[in-house]
Amino acid sequence: MIDFQILLEYYNEFPFLVKLAWDFSVVLSILITILIVYLKFVRKHLRKIEVDNLKFKNEYEGLLIEYLYSEEEAVEISEPQQVILEKLKKHVPIKAKRKVIISVLYKLMNQVSGEVTDALKVVYQNTGLIHYALLRLKSKKWYVIAKGIGELTRFKIDSAEDEIKPYLTHPVREVRKEAHFYFVTLFQFEGLSFLDKLTTPLSEWDQIQMLEILQKFSDQEICDIKPWLQSKNDTVVLFALKLANLYNQYEVKDLLMDLLSHENKTIRIQAIEVLTHLYGIEAKDVLKANFNELSLEEQISFFGMLEKLVIPDDEPFIEKHLFHKNFEIQLLALKILKSINIDKYLGLNKLPSNKKSLAMLNLTDTI
Amino acid sequence: MDTSSIKIILQILHYLFFGYAFAAITSYIVLSIISGIETVKYKRKNSFVNYKDILSSAMSPSITIIAPAYNESLNIVENVRSLLSNHYVNYNVVIVNDGSKDDSLEKLIKAYDLEKIDYIINEKIKTQPLREGIFKSKNPAFEKLMIVDKLNGGKADALNMGLNIAKSKYVACIDVDCLLLEDALQKMIKPFLEVTDAKVIATGGVIRIANSCEINGGKLVDVNLPKNLLVQSQILEYLRAFLLGRMAWSRLNGLLVISGAFGIFDKKIAIAVGGYDTNTVGEDMEIIVRMRRYMEEQGRKYKVSYIPDPLCWTEAPDTYKIFISQRNRWTRGTIETLKKHRKIGFNPKYGWFGLISYPYWLIFERWAPIIEAAGLVYFAILVALEELRWEYALSFLLLAYLFSVLFSIAAIYSEELTFHQYKKKGTGFKLVLLSALEPFVLHPFILYAAIKGNIDYYFNKTKKWGQMERKGFSTVQT
């Protein structure tokens, strides 16, 4: 007590800044001590969650496999299946357990197909899991809504269409994206109708994901993509170009020709690439005529087109660009010349070194 | 000079040191808070992302992994195997053997059944010429692999050769001894494909320390805390730097450095700025500063992204000699880069980059060791002159120490609540203990290396890269 009194007196004699430093030091020491003690609990808790999750996973996996094997032809849900459903129902209200049940269900859904998938969907609906997913859609937190939509997409719940529709234009990209995926996953090409009015950008990531979803369907009958090729939203046009390429949309060639003069350079380049794929030889003359006005990337893309669609009549144009300032174009021009006039190509080797282009010098060994 | 003048000078110096320390600590607190918010946001955004479609899609963009190698014979075959085991579908690997004097090339030829091929290089960036040439495997299982054997020109030159050779839109520049997790590429490519309102020019990832971790078949199977105190301290240091620092700079779009150990770049921009600078030892920082400067000068909206997931694991120095050599190089790299691009500093033409990022690096990274060393000298002078007021010195020293411990503990929390890599029992206690010890076992050596780096930069211009002795990862048998 006396020692403490001495310390206090000693402290009181300190200048203001020193006092402040000691005060802060005491606060920090207390904070550090609390954090160290709490860290022990945090780590213990995290380890426990992992152990519990593993235990639940094994338990639910067993139950669900048993459920699938208890199927009886005559009835929709057999008696043993009903017992399992009741058992699961009791666990669903607990968040941690619900999370594990969903992940196990989804894992199993990915491993099976056909009727078995439908049986698992019955579990999802009859255990009340769907109810919790729909509740998530009403949350004020964007990530909860996005997770809810994602879950309904994974379990292919088409009845949630009306609830999810408003989220197609949600201000948060993640929510919007999940809503887009929901409609494409469940309604295939028809689900893409949101593109008609889409004003927000569709990222490259989202585009690839949607194309992958579409390609998983057995029915590859594509809808009319013409309106999207004329969209004011550039990302929608880019997506439509990808569709045209992937689904060989020969009937949109005229629109593709129009896109060669689009104000967005990326669209123009992609249009050249799609026309190349669709054998759009009519684009060659247009691009040749405007070659000098094209950006370097467009010029390279056009030479890529010529590499695939070249005819002997193109030779003068090719020759003209053997000494183009860009190495890639020089190289492509040489390759194309080799394919249409091997004698002229071999003749280039006779040029003196100082008259050769960089690409010619590089290709000398292989000529 | 009379006594009162000396006292006034001392008083001014007191306030300068105090002001600097206060500003540094405030900036750390602010950055930690921003990092915390950003990490939570990142985890939320990515908790429901489906990476499977991207990784298997033929439409996903192509990535070339460029890995320079110099005298890496000990682990080269295993390291390449690890790089080839990535799950991403559209990628290839270019190993640039930068004039190695050992048998790296022979080992690679034998292990991967390589044959020499004709390959036309579009030399957009000038590099040292080829030595033995370019090799590809005869075995279709290794069709993604290409080995380039060239004359020695240093790491930057080797990376530039890779940039010339790469045909893909994006390049992942990586240290060959790094262990990449299988899902690293799809996670790192995401920002490039996702951001629609700006051009992402580069993405950096967290570097984790793999010493004592168990590796099997090029895959990380068990994360362990090493026994070596120096390596342990570096783990804590990396956690602080990556989880509490870079995440915030990413949010502020102010990242000036992407670790040379692993980063993905937009190849077109990297080439447009002339590739890596071969005249600096800090080529990883320099290229980012140059790319940013280029975008600013072009008036284009851009972003340098950062992914906090533990995707890349590397071997850290386990002896003080190698550690000091590494940090000495980092210091010289920082000085060279900031000096070369001094035009940016405090220049409103470069926006945030010129007014916030550059000044921060200059004041709190470049000057920090010099000011700290000056502080120590000043402290010694005050003691010698018997002018030191111990009650101030001790109280502030204690406060600074406690803050550093708290900051480390905050980093541990950040790790535990997000990626939770050090799961084993007892590791938490060791990490906490390290927080208390690190200011004594690591910081003095960082300061020493930084001061030596400054001296070497100004008085020993011939000094280049130091040596990093590779011991290899621990491997387990299946």
pLDDT tens for A122-142 read 999 999 999 999 999 999 999
Tokens 């005559």 sit at which residue? A74
Sheet holding B262-266, edge to edge: B114-117, B130-137, B145-150, B91-98, B63-69, B170-174, B262-266, B199-209, B302-314, B179-180
The pLDDT value recorded for residue B47 is: 86
Q: How confident is the model at residue B471 (pLDDT cuts 50, 70, 90)?
A: low
pLDDT tens figures, B1-17: 677 888 888 889 888 99
The pLDDT value recorded for residue A175 is: 96
**Mean pLDDT lowest for which of A61-65, B52-56, B135-139, B265-269?**
B52-56
Closest Cα in chain A, distance from residue B170 (Å): 14
- From chain A, the residues in CB contact with B63 under 8 A are none
Q: How confident is the model at residue B428 (pLDDT cuts 50, 70, 90)?
A: very high
On the CB side of B409, CA atoms within 13 Å amount to 24
- From chain B, the residues in CB contact with A36 under 8 A are 409, 432
- Which long-range contacts does A129-134 make (Cβ < 8 Å, 24+ apart)? A129/A92, A129/A98, A129/A101, A129/A102, A129/A105, A129/A155, A130/A155, A130/A157, A132/A92, A132/A98, A133/A157, A133/A160, A134/A160, A134/A163
Q: How many other CB atoms are there within 10 angstroms of residue A149's CB atom? A: 27
Alpha-carbon separation of residue B177 from A188, B69, B168, B173, B443 (angstroms): 45, 9, 23, 12, 26
- Mean pLDDT of the B170-192 span: 93
Nearest-CB residue to A14 (from B47, B391, B423): B391
Q: How confident is the model at residue B177 (pLDDT cuts 50, 70, 90)?
A: confident
Share of chain B above pLDDT 90, in %: 81
Q: Does B440 touch chain A (CB under 8 A)?
A: no
The pLDDT value recorded for residue B416 is: 95
Please give the structure tokens belonging to residue B214.
């168990």
Contact B193 A212 (CB under 8 A): no
Q: Does A273 touch chain B (CB under 8 A)?
A: no
Closest Cα in chain A, distance from residue B399 (Å): 5
Rounded CA-CA distance B418/B37 in Å is: 12
The pLDDT value recorded for residue B219 is: 80
Q: Does B399 touch chain A (CB under 8 A)?
A: yes
Alpha-carbon separation of residue B185 from A352, B65, B178, B205 (angstroms): 46, 9, 14, 10
pLDDT tens figures, A236-294: 999 999 999 999 999 999 999 999 999 999 999 999 999 999 999 999 999 999 999 99
Strand partners, B199: B302
- Whether the CA torsion B380, B382, B386, B390 is positive or negative: it is negative
Helices of type H across A264-341: 265-277, 282-289, 296-309, 315-320, 327-340
Using alpha carbons, select from B285, B315, B284 the residue that is nearest to residue B208: B315
Residue of B nearest to A48 (CA): B423
Alpha-carbon separation of residue B471 from A234, B208, B316, B468 (angstroms): 52, 17, 10, 10
- From chain A, the residues in CB contact with B395 under 8 A are 14, 18, 21-22, 25
Q: Does B385 touch chain A (CB under 8 A)?
A: no
Q: How confident is the model at residue B474 (pLDDT cuts 50, 70, 90)?
A: low
- Mean pLDDT of the B65-91 span: 92
The pLDDT value recorded for residue B477 is: 43
Rounded CA-CA distance B383/B269 in Å is: 54
- From chain B, the residues in CB contact with A205 under 8 A are 54, 190, 193-194
Closest Cα in chain A, distance from residue B414 (Å): 11
**Chain A interface, mutation test: which of B120, B195, B307, most A Cβ atoms within 10 Å?**
B120
Residue pair B243/B35 in contact (Cβ under 8 Å)? The answer is: yes
Rounded CA-CA distance B51/A37 in Å is: 37
What average pLDDT does chain B have? 92
Interface A-B: count of C-beta contacts within 8 A: 111
Range from B42-56, B330-344, B378-392 that averages highest in pLDDT: B330-344
Could you report the average pLDDT of every consecutive run of 10 residues in chain A (367 residues)? 79 90 96 97 95 95 90 78 92 94 91 83 93 96 96 94 96 96 95 95 95 88 93 97 95 96 96 96 94 96 96 93 90 91 85 75 57
Q: How confident is the model at residue B473 (pLDDT cuts 50, 70, 90)?
A: low
> What is the pTM assigned to this prediction?
0.91
Contact B194 A362 (CB under 8 A): no
